[in-house]
Structure 1
Amino acid sequence: MPRSQRNDNSIDRTFTILADILLQIIPTTNREREAFTHYRDGMSAQSEGEYAEALQNYYKAMRLEIDPYDRSYILYNIGLTHTSNGEHTKALEYYFQALERNPFLPQALNNMAVIYPDRGEQAIEQGEPEASEAWFDQAAEYWKQAIALSPSNYIEAQNWLKVTRRFK
């Protein structure tokens, strides 16, 4: 049984009902409906911490979805799931792919930037101060791009940029 038919959460159930109504009203193909159903089921599984199930649904949605904009959000969520699993290298790959299809995803830029300071800290621990600075500088660049796209968001990132004197 698809996840969308077994949600116990009232918010998920409400979202599912509204999404189903929209799919009936908006002219879409069966393929697009199926892609959206898998995407929606992936988001539901992800919100419940069922990451393997979320990834299965996202990959099914990717095989069906042809619209680059919609694919960017699927890729972003795959990246988010890998981030939640601690698989940062994989996550970065998917965030990059999402941005290739939709360069206006500040949340992908932010999530990429969040990974880089951790790598900078690891470089410090390994006695590699030059590598550390490169990681921090790259984080700053991604945060600056995210802030440019969404100026009222990412206040913590703006503070980090100011504290580290990387905000120009």
Structure 2
Amino acid sequence: MKRLTSLLMLALTFVIFGCSSTDTGSKYDTSLYQGRPIDTLTQDPPPQSEVEAIQRGDAALNAGNIDLALYEYIRSLSFDNLAYKDQTLYTIGKIHLSRGNNDLAERALNMSINANPNNSKSLEQLGMFYASTGRVSESESFFLRAVNADQLRFSSQHTIQREDVSIGLIESLNTDRTSPGYAYMGLGVLSDVDNEYDIARAFYDKAGSILPFENKVLLNMGYSYYMSGDYTKASTFTQRALNREPDSEKAQNNMALIYLAQGYENRALNMFSRHLERPEALNNVGYFLMLKGKPERAIPYFQQAIDAKPSYYKLANENLDRALSEVRNKEIIITNN
């Protein structure tokens, strides 16, 4: 009888432990999780603290086990008196962004900011996310909030608002290598769009001091000078970007545009040809010449693009028709005058 009782107790024990190992997600809010079924992730005992769960998540992330990392970070949020909630939610948001899970990423980042309104990295990341989705006013708001939150870290008296921004104010802002460099860069891009080129470059200077190896800073600075018509400085910054990353298509395209603005059509064609087939490169040169109000210079490039690949290059035919039409319109205007 004792043996039977012991066996029953042992069986009951297995049932209880079996339930806890297969129902690992029952006590956690898994609404931020998306990945493999939770019960396939781990058979380890649950973490006993927020820090232990975060350490497990870090280890899984370093090992490339993203689903397990995500789950461990989520488990860290189930404890009381959390010390790292906003930072963990930021990491969860970044994981979802890397996977294209935009809704979950946005939710996690907003939860991070709710936990800590001055988490400059979460504010910056939301600004970048909204910029990538075309929500310009929201991106600007979060970039500004990120910069101002970072100033609080320095106990600085300086804050920045869109309506009273100035070069002097931008230069007075405190930064270090942990400051939100992409927020500064984003504010520079938005200033360029508003034709505030000097303001944009002051923001890029700040971004460059925080992110000295980020090629986008050089590209944006070069493009800012290109947009304002200073092609010499545009060429200097863009060439520096090309020297760092010779295979960067963005840098090659920007350099080609600068060459065209300077009248170096062959150089532009060669630059486009680094990453495009020759018909596409020829069409690009013609297209940008046409945009610059030089349809007569564009026509030979469209004709060469068509000759190089007549069955493929429908676009070059359409652009050629447009260029010929613009040339005729110019001739009519000259004749009438």
Contact 2:256 2:268 in 1 (8 A): yes
Contact 1:75 1:98 in 2 (8 A): yes
TM-fit CA distance, 1:118? 4.0
Q: Deviations over 1:53-106 (max 9, x none)?
A: 10001011112213x3x2x10100000100011000110111111112222322
Percent identity over paired residues: 21
Contact 2:218 2:238 in 1 (8 A): yes
The structure 2 residue matched to 1:115, chosen from 258, 274, 277, is 258
Alignment partners' CA distance in 1, 2:217 and 2:196? 16
**Could you tell which deviates more after superposition, 30-39 or 95-104?**
30-39
TM-fit CA distance, 1:154? 6.8
Alignment partners' CA distance in 1, 2:191 and 2:271? 28
Contact 2:140 2:190 in 1 (8 A): no
TM normalised by structure 2 equals 0.33
Contact 1:110 1:146 in 2 (8 A): no
Q: What corresponds to 2:193 in structure 1?
A: 47
Match of 1:145, SS state, is coil
The structure 2 residue matched to 1:64, chosen from 210, 213, 221, is 210
Q: What corresponds to 1:144 in structure 2?
A: 273
Letter in 1 for 2:211: E
**Based on CA coordinates, which of the two structures has the bigger radius of gyration?**
2
Q: What corresponds to 1:157 in structure 2?
A: 284
For CA contacts below 8 A with separation 6 or more, give which structure has more relative contact order: 1
Matched, 1:13 2:13: no
Alignment partners' CA distance in 2, 1:87 and 1:35? 25
1:74-153 aligned at under 5 Å gives the runs 74-120=217-263, 135-147=264-276
Match of 1:103, SS state, is coil
Letter in 2 for 1:112: M
TM-fit CA distance, 1:117? 3.3
Q: What corresponds to 2:70 in structure 1?
A: none
**Could you tell which deviates more after superposition, 105-114 or 55-64?**
105-114
Q: What corresponds to 2:328 in structure 1?
A: none
Alignment partners' CA distance in 2, 1:118 and 1:44? 23
Contact 2:286 2:302 in 1 (8 A): yes
Alignment partners' CA distance in 2, 1:54 and 1:42? 4
Q: Relative to structure 1, is the Cα distance of residues 17 and 155 closer, same or farther in structure 2, using a 3 angstrom cutoff? A: farther
Alignment partners' CA distance in 1, 2:225 and 2:304? 28
TM normalised by structure 1 equals 0.62
Instruction: Count the aligned residue pairs.
Output: 132
Q: Any unmatched runs of 5+ in structure 1? A: 21-29, 121-134
Alignment partners' CA distance in 2, 1:154 and 1:13? 37
Contact 1:78 1:91 in 2 (8 A): yes
Matched, 1:35 2:164: no
TM-fit CA distance, 1:15? 6.5
Q: What corresponds to 2:20 in structure 1?
A: none
Q: Relative to structure 1, is the Cα distance of residues 77 and 118 closer, same or farther in structure 2, using a 3 angstrom cutoff? A: closer
